[in-house]
Each structure stands twice: as structure tokens, then as C-alpha cells.
Structure 1
Amino acid sequence: MSVDVFDRVIKNAIDVMENSKYQIFEICENVRAEREALNKELQLVIEETAITIDIVDKFEVDYRRSRVRLTEVSRDFKRFNEEDIRAAYEAATQLQAQLAIHREKELHLKMRRDDLQKRLKNLDKQLERAEALVSQFGVVLEYLSGDLHQVTRLLESAKSRQLMGLKIILAQEEERKRIAREIHDGLAQNMANMVLRTEITERMLAKEAYSAVKEELADLKSGVRAGIEEVRKIIFNLRPMALDDLGLVPTLRKFVQDYEERSKISTKFELIGKEVRLPSGMEVAVYRLVQEAFSNVLKHAEASHITLELTFQQQMIKLTVTDNGVGFNTAGIDKKITQGSHYGLMGMRERVELLEGRFDIQSEVGAGTKVSMVIPIKSESKEE
């Protein structure tokens, strides 16, 4: 097949995929808009439900008192006449009717709340699938939109290089998707909630409910602080600045401490040998490997203790992550990783291989897991 024919085929495919990508993107935007509207409605329903529950509780107390009063006047004919009994009966009947009405309203609001929560959950699933499709289309379009002559040369040379390039692009898109989801699920939700709380505060000010306004402002202040912490966490996950300022070992110590506080899993960090500053890219890669290893333990191992051992030698560094979790059967693990059934391990192995290192797993069911990674330090690294 000539380059011109190949070029024409690729361009037609790109046009079709571009149109499909924008259609899916419009679907995503519509789902997001619907989700935002439903979320606002849900917040209002939750607020109204809380108010209705308080009213029902008050009516229940008043109704019990009226029943006691009715019993009292009905028994004591000396102190109370027929008019007193009728008044007590009418009061109890009226409170009973009001209580029934508000109980019905409470039941209706709770059903509405549950229905909105289910719809929001379904919309989240639809949005996740649509975003995955957009991401996949973006990856393929970026790959196809490159230099077609270069693509032809890649096709004629090593197939493994093509696959590696595609995996790198996929990894980039997955990272972008992860960051977008963190912002959407964390910071964006907090900001939307603060806008809603501000509107509620405005309504309270109109009613001169100053004590309630003070409480709402305190909650808003806490929400802003939580948003700031979320931004700092996202920035740190993108690029730990401590790597540039302090180096790999202090950054890993801080990561291990934060992990223990967050996950409640006991951790231990051991340094063997004398620390040597590595190239910036290699330090980031090592840090990401530790992140992924600890994340896998949290998701799958059910462990109560993790040990990170970092060994510096003249021509290599060695990372060893050991946990006391449930473990697994390693029979055929290399094939499973290659086939992509263990995504976390597959990503770690690919990172190590890009650094021309070795990756090894030792595990038994019920006996924990040990992941070892050996990464060579090249001569130019040592000079740096």
C-alpha cells in the first residue's frame, strides 16, 4: 500500500472519528448539565426533608400531649364539663390530621430523595462510560494525526515500538482523566455545594435568622479550607515539589507517613546505603512506582503492615515493597500481566522496563506479597 493511499484512508477514518468524538462530547455535556440540575434539586429536597422531619417530631409531641389531655378531661367529670371534653377532642383530632399530612409529606420527600440519588448514580455511570469513549477517541486520533510517513516507517519496523508509543499516550490520557475526575468529584463538588450553601444563607438573611447564618458561614469557611486542601493534594499528586527541593528519600519518608495516616496501615521505611541524587525524571519515576505499589496494597492486599526498603548501590537502586496481606497465587503471573488482567502491576512493570530495570513479584496465598524493582543508574546519572 502506497503512502498516498494510506494517507487517504487515515484521513477518512480521522474525519469519521472526529464527528463521533464531538457527538459523544455533546452527550457528556448534556449528562453533566442534567446531573448538576438533579444535584441542586437533591440538595433542596434534603433540606426540605430535614425541616419536615422537625415539624413531624413537634406534631408528635403535641399530639401525645393532646391525647393525655383528652384522657384527663374524659375521666374527671367533676372538674371538666362536656365543652372541655369536646375542645380537647377537637384539638387532638386536628393535631392527628396535621401529623398524618406531614408524615405523608415526609414519606414523599424521602422517596423523592432516594429516587434522585439513584438517578444521580446512574448518570455518574453514563458519564464515566462516555468520558472513557472520548478519551479513547482522543488517543487514537492523536496517534493517527501524526506524521504518516513516520507511521509507515513504524509499521515497517518494530511492532513493539508502536505498541510502546501507544501505551505512553494511553498512560498520558489516563492521567489526564484521573486529574479531571479528582477535580470533578472533589473540588468542583465542594464549590457547587458552597454556591448552594451561599444561596441558603442569603435566604436566611432575608428572614433575619442571624444565628443560623452564623452557623452556615462557619460551614462555608470549613468548605473553603477543604477546597484549598483538595487543590494542594492535586498539585502534589501532579508533581511533588519536595522531590526538587529535598530529594527522593525525604519525599518518600513524607509519602509513607501520609499514607499511614490516611489508610491506617502501619508502614516502615528503611534506607540502605548512601543516598545519591538522581536525574529529575528518574526520581519522579521511582516515586510513582512506590505510589502505585502502595496503592495496590490498599486496594487488594487487606494488609495491616507495609515495609518500603530503598537500597542505593554504585550502579543501581533497588526498591522492595513488602506487605503482610492476603497474597495471591503467582502461577502464570507474567502471562496475566502481559494480557492486562493486572493493570497496576502491568503499569509498574512497564515503568521499570522503560528504565531498563528488572521487576519481580513473590507472593503466596495468606503469606503476603513482596515486589522488587531494580533500576540501573547510568554513567551520565552519576556524573550529574
Structure 2
Amino acid sequence: MQGDALDRIIKNAIDVMESSKYQIFEICESVRSERNALNFELHQVLEETSKTIDMVDHCEMEYRKARIRLTEVSRDFKRFTEEDIRSAYELATNMQTQLAMYREKELYLKTRRDDLQKRVKNVDKQLERAESVVTQVNVVLEYLSGDLNQVTRLLESAKNRQLLGLKIILAQEEERKRIAREIHDGLAQTMANVVLRTEIAERMLSKQAYNSVKEELVDLKGQVRGGIEEVRKIIFNLRPMALDDLGLIPALRKFIQDYEEKTKINTRFELVGKDARLPSGMEVAIYRLVQEAFSNVLKHAQASHVTLELTYQQQMVKIVVTDNGVGFVVDNIDKKIEKGSHYGLIGMRERVELLEGRMEIQSTKDVGTKVSILIPIKSDSKEE
């Protein structure tokens, strides 16, 4: 009876979530349409900006000619009449007025361009949040839509295993979404902008606006370099090449250096014992553990200093991450981990358990936190 009741509850939950999913999908489509409209308007503004820059260059050239002409007729009263002087003066004045008008228009268009780019970025963030909700709903639906009898057994006898299974699916979806977001927000946007700016530079070249072309190309070169850097970051985050080529210690040194530059948190790395290559899987696991520990410091600790101490022993690797942040009550955090509400520490604890190690957390309010991890090195897994 209890199993039937639970099945009905789960089926009702699935129906409600299916309905909600389509509503969220409609919101996503609406936001996506708004983004497309903004991108179209941005493209038009960029084109109009290019044309206005051309007109500014043209007016500057004509204004210089008009001033030269006015100077000539003003100096030679014998050759030129008062009518010639008046005409030259009016032409110079008109060109000056046109130049000021087009300069003002150029300034307005550039301001409008910057505003549209900010709006596009904000809409992208809204779309990202909506898609994240859809992803989470899909994950839960996928999990609940399986064998309901199995779900019942899991609920009754293996709640932790169910949480682990759900977390694995969620982690996979989040990783896919993260990679897609990095490519979309970084590389894809950069490449699209490069195409637009190249077209603008091409039109300027045809009209011999060389100074403006030079400025566009300098900016274009910077964007391409930024795109290359984004690609390198994505590749490094997927699998740090230094980890394969040089080993764990150089990869960790590079990570800590980048972490300090990015977060402005002072860092220190201490190596105790003799550096030795470990099995590839173990090196990756240790690297990810350190990543997650430092990420937790950034998110929660409000620290100004963090230290990584890595100790190599004959049959053990010890990882200690210490910060001088706000600290917390350890009993409370243990309860959060048990309830599955602190995913960073859950992920770390699961990695440690997979390596048959153990993790200890020591923390004092307003003093700091110390995370200690011990990982055994099995004799049959050592690399020669």
C-alpha cells in the first residue's frame, strides 16, 4: 500500500514538473526572441556607426579644404571678390556644422552600441538561468521516470545512493552546460564580433578611411587574442595539460599562481617530502580536490590568505588546505553535508572515499578553517 501511494505521489510530481518544464521552456523562447531582436538592432547600430564614421572622416576632409579655401580668398582681395569670400565663409561654416552634427551622432551611436551590448549580456544571463532550471527539471524527471519500484526501494533502503546517482546526473548536465556557456559567452561571441568588425573595416578600406581602419584592426587583434585565451582556458579546465606533461606538482603551482592573480587572495604552496609521479587517476583526483577546496575558500571563507601543504609519504599523500577566513561551526557543516545541501564538500568527500582516504575539517569562528585529506598509495598502483 505504501509503495502504491508513493508511486502515485511520484507520478503526480512528474505531471506537475512536466507542465512546469514547458512553461519554463516558453519563458526561454521569449527571452531568446528578445536576445535575437537585440542582436539584430545591435547589428544595425554597428552598420550605422560605420557609415557615420565614414561621414565624419568625409566632413573632416571637406572642412579642411573649406578652411584652406577661406584662407586663400581672405588673403588675396585683388583676385577674389567679397562674394567669393562670403561663399567660402558659408561653405566652411556649413561643413563645420555638418562635422559637429556627425560627431555628435557618432557619439550617440557608440553609446547606443555599448548599451545594447550590455542588454544582450544581461539577457544572456537570464537565458542561462532559465536553461539551468530546465536542465535541473530534466535531470529530476529523468531520474523519477525510471523504474518506480527501484525508486521506492532506494527511498526506503538507500537514500545516500539515490542522492549520489542524482548528483552524478546533475554534475554531468552542469558540466555540459558550463562548457557550452563558456564557448557561447566567450569564443562564439568573440568570433561573431570579429566578423562584424571585419566587415566594418572592409567598408572603411573601400572608402580609404585609413585611421579608422587602423583603430578597428587594433581592437580586432585584441579580440582575437582574447578569443584564443578563452579557448586555452576551456581546454585547461577540461584537462590541465601540465598535469599530463609535467605532473601534479607543476600543475598545482600553475593553478595556485592563476588563483592568486584572479582572486587577489595571497597563496602559499608547501611541498614536504620527495615529489613522485602517482597513477594518472590519483593525480587528477588530487588536483580536483585542491581545486574544490580553493573554490570553497573563495565562495565562503572571505579569506585574505590560503595555504596548500602537500606531503608525500611512502604509503600516503597528505593534503592540507588552510585559510584565515571567517570559519564556521564544524557540527553544523557536517549536518549540511549529511542533508546534501553543501555540494562542494559532498563532492570532495565522495572523491576521497573513492580513493579509500579520509577527510577531516577543523574550523574556528573568525579564525579560519583547515581541511586535511589523507589518501593511501597502494603498492600495486605505484608507477615505476
TM-score range (shorter-chain normalised) is 0.7 to 0.9
Bigger shift: 159-168 or 199-208?
199-208
Instruction: Compute the displacement of 1:335 (Å).
Output: 6.5
CA distance in 1, matches of 2:98, 2:297: 55
For normalisation by structure 2, the TM-score amounts to 0.73
Give the Cα–Cα distance (whole angstroms) in 2 for the partners of residues 239 and 351 of structure 1: 17
CA distance in 1, matches of 2:284, 2:97: 68
RMSD: 4.7
SS in 1 for 2:372: strand
Sequence identity, in percent? 71
1:330 corresponds, among 325, 328, 331, to: 328
Q: Per the alignment, in what secondary structure is the counterpart of residue 326 of structure 2? A: coil
Residue 374 of structure 2 corresponds to 375
* Aligned-partner Cα distance in 2 for 1:54–1:37: 26
**Amino acid of the structure 1 residue aligned with 2:360:** F
SS of residue in 2 equivalent to 1:139: helix
8 A contact 2:327–2:364 mirrored in 1:
yes
Alpha-carbon distance between aligned partners in 1 of 2:140 and 2:206, rounded to the nearest angstrom: 54
SS in 2 for 1:328: coil
Q: What corresponds to 1:188 in structure 2?
A: 188
CA deviations over 1:264-317 (Å, ceiling 9, x no partner): 665432221344655544432321121123334556667665432111335543
Counterpart contact for 1:271–1:310, Cα < 8 Å: yes
Q: Identify unmatched segments of 5+ residues in structure 1.
A: none
Q: Give the number of aligned pairs.
A: 378
Aligned-partner Cα distance in 1 for 2:73–2:198: 50
Q: Give the corresponding residue for 2:359.
A: 358
What's the TM-score, normalizing by structure 1? 0.73
1:92-148 CA distances to partner (integer Å, 9 max, x unpaired)? 542354245325533542453354235324412320221121111122012213332
Match of 2:310, SS state, is: strand
The C-alpha deviation readout for 1:230-251, integer Å capped at 9, x for no partner, is: 3343233123355455543343
Shift of 1:358: 1.9
| Equivalent residue, structure 2, for 1:153 | 153
Distance 2:43 2:360 in 1: 49
**Cα–Cα, structure 1 residues 357 and 90, in superposed 2: closer, same or farther, change >3 Å?**
same
Q: 1:311·1:317 contact (CA, 8 Å) conserved in 2?
A: yes
Distance 1:373 1:44, change over 3 A: farther
Sort the Cα spacing of 1:182 and 1:371 in 2 relative to 1 into closer, same or farther, 3 A. Answer: farther
**TM alignment of 1:106-185, pairs within 5 A:** 106=106, 108-110=108-110, 112-185=112-185
Structure 2 residue runs of 5 or longer lacking an equivalent are none
Alignment of structure 1 residues 210-359 onto 2, 5 Å: 226-244=226-244, 246-260=246-260, 267-275=267-275, 278=278, 280-298=280-298, 306-314=306-314, 316-323=316-323, 327-331=325-329, 334=333, 338=337, 344=344, 347-348=347-348, 351-352=351-352, 357-359=358-360
CA contact (8 A) 2:60 2:99 kept: yes
3-state DSSP class of the match of 2:146?
A: coil
AA in 1 matched with 2:372: M
CA contact under 8 A between 1:205 and 1:213: conserved in structure 2?
yes
Instruction: Point out the more displaced range, 121-130 or 105-114.
Output: 105-114
Q: 1:283 to 1:141 in 2, by over 3 A?
A: farther
